[in-house]
DNA sequence: GGGGGATGTCGAATCGATTCGATCCGGACC
DNA sequence: GGTCCGGATCGAATCGATTCGACATCCCCC
């Protein structure tokens, strides 16, 4: 491996100064067409691959990198199509701006990943919001990295891109109440970083520190619903929904409908119902949230609240752009839409 | 926004030279304990967040970033749990080395993403191998970025981490032949970048330019099997498997067993079979490849060839480490294992 | 007491590019 | 013919850190 050829080499070969050669590439100043051609020819000759991003970054103070902080393990957050689709929208929106996405797994509780403290990034995006007093936020603030939250909380004072979880859930509940349901079960997203799958008691309820979970629960309260059974799932995964679903349904007097806070959880609840010999929706109705396309549920179609995932990613990308432009992005709240499928129906008489 | 505090500020505050301050952080030279403490105290005082990665990178020529090139859209490659789990293993193995993963979506055919040409990275990993004469490889070579391939081809001369696709498939076929099957259908991964879902004819077969597809097909030939029906899927997705499955099964004299080249495709074939009123495994057997955990298939358990996904990610991380250490990583071929489930059985008499 | 080695600190070069101000040149206009 | 103007080019400073060689101290031991 010989030393990489630099702009200086190219300039020397072309017989111009380094500054002129830089101009030939960046085009940020007056330069004669012939000189430019000569420089580019020399670059071609030397197999020069263009100005190194490092030098540019150093001078400009911009690295062109957006750090995306995802939940603990990729395995967990990325098995969730919701994250993927948002991330996809984000990458698609960032790419044309010449920005790249650096994956930063938030470490296990307590230990901050070294990347968070060292990697150079222009902006950080927290894909799953933040806890109150989140050490990740503290570390980013200390480094002076502008940060954007997807899914709250607003209390942080940082720009937030989210959806109208609350109204969406309320609309779903209204629909179910219209069908005659009065006994609601609920399978929720995690309350915090602890990964437990268990019924929620009053003490646990006070520990609730996760924005989507909170908002979607608030939608129930808005319709004056107090669930007869409330179980916290350990993650938005089918397996976890199945486990939680058993806790909700395998009791003496089960609810007539189970609201799961995500579609994957709802899919798990469907499995649990089937395990218990319950027909859906005759014996129990099941609803989700997200509006994923889950072909393997066929011929069932999940009743759910659909959110615009790709749009959310794009809104995040837009917020990044604004932040880099020196603006202060406004909070965004995207609309959701109730989609009635075949997994909900009137309660058994 | 005030200007970021730099090492020079800290040094000034501590009353030492910049070089001494640098030593206090890096620990790469002799330094008195008292001096070090003074520097660190000054840093604390000034809220200095540690040496900037940019400056360090510039000097060392290392950015600490590993570029991971994934198929066109995240949406597509990341809906595939296979990619996710490998990526998870890779991130887990890179993190402790202080290396971060930069996502680089390989653009649509022909257009190279700007990131590939500009982003600074120490190593590139192609998660889904490369075509022959792949422009991505050419661009990376031109920039002098060391590259590792997951899933071949070996012909490229680059380090390859892969699995024993061929022997795994052959073992699966042997098992099916033992059950009495003679009429095989096959749903394959894409042959190249074109995303089509169609039966494969001789002309198309000559265009086959994708290593996993090729190897898994070779496993059939090893057992002297010529499929009665061979359909190329557009991607490793359930929907695509369903579409391809219909093409394979909805014919006058369908095969007695369908081998899908991935578990997701196999899940799609199961859906197609159900759509057509075929019982599995009584009317038709279905097998996959990957060994994913697909809870929603329950109570069915897919017969499949299981590959060590996390280990593959770790092997990639190890290859990265070796490459950065100046070694030449040896090719790795990880073992696979046949796992017989409930979706295969003897053919109908 | 002086020489030598170990230890700690500093200055300056360096990495690869950008960018501002200065310089140089030719042409146009008075 | 002199002056002025503007386009093209160049030099040098700059970004933030690392690192090497030089230098100053101090201790130990001969």
Secondary structure of A120-174 as H, E, C letters: CCCEEEECCCCCCCCHHHHHHHHHCCCEEEECCCHHHCCCEEEECHHHHHHHHHH
Contact between A74 and B63 using a beta-carbon 8 Å cutoff:
no
Q: How far is the CA of B62 from the C1' of C14 (A)?
A: 15
Nearest Cα to A320, choosing from A134, A133, A127, A155?
A: A127
Compute and round to an integer the Cα radius of gyration of chain B. Answer: 26
Between A and B, how many residue pairs show a Cβ–Cβ distance under 8 A? 139
Would you say the C-beta of B120 is within 7 Å of strand D? no
Q: Is the CB of B54 under 7 A from strand C?
A: no
Using DSSP bridges, classify how beta strands B123-126 and B147-150 pair: parallel, antiparallel or unpaired.
parallel
Non-local CB neighbours of B280 within 8 Å, separated by 6+ positions: B270, B273, B274, B286, B300, B343
Distance from CA of B79 to the nearest CA of A (A): 6
- Provide block-wise average pLDDT over 10 residues at a time, chain B (349 residues): 79 91 86 89 90 88 90 67 88 88 80 85 91 87 92 89 97 98 97 90 95 96 96 94 97 96 97 95 97 88 97 96 91 97 94
Query: Is B88 within 8 Å of A75 when comparing Cβ atoms?
Result: yes
Q: Which token pair is B108?
A: 């649509």
Which band of pLDDT confidence, cut at 50, 70 and 90, is reported for residue A278?
very high
Q: Which two three-digit tokens encode residue B95?
A: 């993190």
A61 touches strand D (CB under 7 A): yes
Does any CB of chain B come closer than 8 Å to the CB of residue A267? yes
Cβ–Cβ < 8 Å for A241, A268: yes
C-alpha gyration radius of chain A: 26
- The answer to whether strand C lies under 7 Å from the CB of residue A54 is yes
Helix, strand, or coil here: B188? strand
Gap from B202 CA to C10 C1', Å: 74
Protein CA A50 to sugar C1' C22 (Å): 28
**Nearest residue to A118 (alpha-carbon basis) of A147, A91, A145:** A145
Q: Which residues 27-46 in chain B show a CB within 8 A of chain A?
A: none
Return the structure tokens found at B241: 């498997």
* Cβ atoms < 10 Å from Cβ of A322: 15
B8 touches strand C (CB under 7 A): no
CA B173 vs CA A91, B29, B166: distances in Å: 40, 61, 11
Spacing of C-alpha A221 from chain mean position: 25
**Separation CA B200–CA B192 (nearest Å):** 13
Chain A residue with Cα closest to B106: A95
- B23 CB neighbours strand D below 7 A: yes
Does the pLDDT value for residue A109 go beyond 70? Answer: no
pLDDT at B74: 59
pLDDT of residue B179: 97
Q: CA(A50)–C1'(C26) in Å?
A: 33
Contact A89, A290 (CB under 8 A): no
pLDDT category at A2 given cuts 50, 70, 90 is low
CA distance B70 to chain A (A): 12
Is there a contact between A309 and A89 (Cβ–Cβ < 8 Å)? Answer: yes
Q: How far is the CA of B20 from the C1' of D19 (A)?
A: 11
Let me know: does B110 contact A96? Beta carbons within 8 Å: no
B123 strand-pairing partners: B66
Collapse the DSSP code of A71 into the 3-class scheme (helix H, G, I; strand E, B; otherwise coil) and give the result.
coil
Give residue B60's pLDDT. 84
pTM of this prediction? 0.89
Give the distance from residue B221's alpha carbon to the nearest chain A alpha carbon, in angstroms.
Answer: 31
Q: Which of A19-23, A128-132, B271-275 has the lowest mean pLDDT?
A: A128-132
| Cβ A167 vs Cβ A219: under 8 Å | yes
Q: What is the pLDDT of residue B109?
A: 66
More confident residue, B177 or A156: B177
| pLDDT of A303 strictly over 70 | yes
Give mean pLDDT, residues A209-234.
96
Q: Where are the alpha helices (DSSP H) in chain A?
A: 7-14, 18-26, 33-46, 53-60, 74-78, 81-94, 114-118, 135-143, 165-179, 202-206, 211-222, 238-249, 263-275, 309-324
Chain B within 8 Å of A54 (Cβ-Cβ)? yes
Mean pLDDT of A108-116: 78
CB contact under 8 A, A58 and B55: yes
CA gap A148, A101 in Å, rounded: 14
Phi, psi values for residue B5, rounded to 5°: -75, 140
Closest nucleotide over all strands to A34 (CA to C1'):
D8
Span of A60-64, A77-81, A152-156, A258-262 with lowest mean pLDDT: A77-81
Nucleotide nearest to A3 (CA to C1'): C15
Mutation for A interface: B86, B91, B112, B288, most A CBs within 10 A: B91
Is the pLDDT at A74 greater than 70? The verdict is no
């Amino acid at each position: 491996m010989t030393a990489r050829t630099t702009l200086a080499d190219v300039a020397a070969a072309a017989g111009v100064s380094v500054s002129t050669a830089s101009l030939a590439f960046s085009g940020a100043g007056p330069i004669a067409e012939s000189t430019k051609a000569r420089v580019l020819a020399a670059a071609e000759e030397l197999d020069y691959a263009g100005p190194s991003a490092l030098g540019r970054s150093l001078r400009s103070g911009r690295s062109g990198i957006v750090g995306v902080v995802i939940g603990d393990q990729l395995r967990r957050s990325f098995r969730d199509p919701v994250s993927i689709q948002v991330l996809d929208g984000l990458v698609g929106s960032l790419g044309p701006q010449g920005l790249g996405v650096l994956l930063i797994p938030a470490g296990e509780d307590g230990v901050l990943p070294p990347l968070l403290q060292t990697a150079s990034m222009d902006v950080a995006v927290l894909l799953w919001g933040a806890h109150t007093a989140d050490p990740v936020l503290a570390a980013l603030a200390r480094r002076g990295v502008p940060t954007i939250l997807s899914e709250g909380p607003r209390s942080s004072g940082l720009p937030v891109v989210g959806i109208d979880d609350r109204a969406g859930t309320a609309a779903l509940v209204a629909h179910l109440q219209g069908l005659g349901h009065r006994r609601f079960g609920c399978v929720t997203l995690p309350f915090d970083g602890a990964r437990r799958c268990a019924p929620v008691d009053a003490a646990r309820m006070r520990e609730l520190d996760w924005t989507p979970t909170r908002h979607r629960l608030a939608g129930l309260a808005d319709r004056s619903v107090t669930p007869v059974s409330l179980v916290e799932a350990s993650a938005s995964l089918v397996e976890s929904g199945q486990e939680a679903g058993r806790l909700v349904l395998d009791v003496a007097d089960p609810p007539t409908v189970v609201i799961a806070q995500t579609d994957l959880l709802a899919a798990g609840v469907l499995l649990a119902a089937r395990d218990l010999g319950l027909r859906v929706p005759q014996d129990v109705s099941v609803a989700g949230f997200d509006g994923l396309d889950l072909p393997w549920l066929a011929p069932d179609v999940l009743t759910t609240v659909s959110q615009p995932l790709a749009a959310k990613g794009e809104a995040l990308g837009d917020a990044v752009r604004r932040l880099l432009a020196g603006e202060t992005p406004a909070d965004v709240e995207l609309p959701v839409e109730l989609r009635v499928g075949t997994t909900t129906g009137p309660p058994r008489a």
